[in-house]
Every structure is written in structure tokens, then in C-alpha cells.
A and B are shown apart, each in its own frame.
Chain A
Amino acid sequence: AQSVTQLDSQVPVFEEAPVELRCNYSSSVSVYLFWYVQYPNQGLQLLLKYLSGSTLVKGINGFEAEFNKSQTSFHLRKPSVHISDTAEYFCAVSDSAGGSYIPTFGRGTSLIVHP
């Protein structure tokens, strides 16, 4: 079974600073990777996903992530954050091994943007 580790439970950062949220997953032959964001009192919404092809994936709201197969990582980055980016971010991974393709979610990283 897949496992996902989000190394930081909380990341405080000042507005307009760059940010990186880290995500590592357990190894598998073929993986699909996702980042979701959850704003307060809302469900999760997709930021971006990697299925195949270019390892650099661009998503909504200026976020991007890079798939690194050798390091089994899929870190999320944004060059300049805004107050409105304050939210919980979840990394998720799914694969087709064993016939189950339900995504496994990390525990989440709380991004707190200070003015």
C-alpha cells in the first residue's frame, strides 16, 4: 500500500515570500500524484496533478510542483505567496498496483501567510 509523508505540519511564511511544501511517497512502479487545497470550512479542491510527461507541473493560483522519481518526492512551490493562500494543503498519490486506485492522502500541511 502507498504511504504519503508531508514533512511539515505547519509552514509559516510572510506575504510575497517563496514557499515550498514537501511531499514524499513510498515507491511504486507507476504513480499518479496530486496536490489539493482546503480553505477553512470548505472541501478540498485540486491544485494540480502529475500523471505522466513533463516532471514540472503547473497548477492554479500560481502553484507548481516537480515530480522527482529518484527521490520519490512531489514538492509544491510558489514563488510569491499571498494572504489568501492561507489554507491546508494535501498531497495525494494513487497507483494501479493491486487493482486499487483510491488515492492515499498525506496528513496535510497548514500554510500560514503573515502580512
Chain B
Amino acid sequence: KAGVTQTPRYLIKTRGQQVTLSCSPISGHRSVSWYQQTPGQGLQFLFEYFSETQRNKGNFPGRFSGRQFSNSRSEMNVSTLELGDSALYLCASSPPAGRGTDTQYFGPGTRLTVL
């Protein structure tokens, strides 16, 4: 099976712009989660989608949004970019087997740099 893929791998944007990142989960996985990884804050949970519905949400401002399509592919959008949004954005998919027991399968991430 192909792994989790994320596009693009690298992005450079300027403050005030918006950006859309894409994630294709492993075939058959219906849960997709997004994380922001920075040296200072570590891995922070953004949101999780399951069957096109946002099921869980982390503590991020409304500028961060996402959606999931019927084929389980997911996108996240960041509007009005700030310098502090520079980070590695990781997508993870999982085959929901039971609450809390699921292994997450991560993509390689999208490195976003905001200038």
C-alpha cells in the first residue's frame, strides 16, 4: 500500500497570504489528523476529520481550517499567514480500530516558510 502523501513538500509564502496544503491518506483509512510541528512547541494537534466531518479540534485560531472529501483526502487552509505559522505541517491517517488504540501513519510533511 502507498503511504500517506502530502503536497507540496515545501512552500514559501509572505505574511498576509493564504495557503492550502493537501493530504492523501493510506487507502482504506478514513481518519485524517493534522499537526503543526515547530522547534519551540513540538507537535501540536490541529484537527481531525472522519467521514468528511471534523471530529476533534485543537486549540488554534480560526485562520486554520480544514476539510475532508468523500475519498478521504484532506486539505488544510491557513488564511492571513503570520510569521509564526512557519512550521512543518504533518498529516496522519489511521484506520479507526478503537478509541485511543489507533496507530497514526504520518506523511513526510509540508515545510511552510512565511516571510
Contact = CB atoms under 8 A, between A and B. Distances in A.
A107 B45 CA distance: 12
Given A94-B100, A95-B100, A45 B42 contact: no
Interface string A71-115: 000000000000000000010001110001111111110000000
Nearest to B96: A101
Nearest to B41: A107
B100 A96 contact: yes
Kindly name the residue among B4, B58, B100, B108 whose own CB sees the greatest number of chain A CB atoms within 10 A.
Answer: B100
A70 interface: no
A28 B105 CA distance: 25
Nearest to B106: A43
Bin chain B's interface residue count: 20 to 34
Contacts of A31: 100
25 contacts: A31-B100, A36-B104, A36-B106, A42-B108, A42-B109, A43-B4, A43-B92, A43-B106, A43-B109, A44-B92, A45-B106, A46-B105, A90-B43, A96-B99, A96-B100, A101-B99, A102-B33, A102-B45, A102-B48, A103-B100, A104-B45, A105-B35, A105-B43, A108-B42, A108-B43
B103 interface: yes
Interface in B98-115: 99-109
Bin chain A's interface residue count: 20 to 34
Contacts of B53: none
Given A102-B48, A102-B56, A106-B42, A51 B101 contact: yes
A90 B35 CA distance: 14
A74 to B, nearest CB: 14
A102 to B, nearest CB: 5
Contact of B103 (A34, A43, A96, A104): A34
B103 A46 contact: yes
Contacts of A100: 56
B90 interface: yes
A42 B110 CA distance: 10
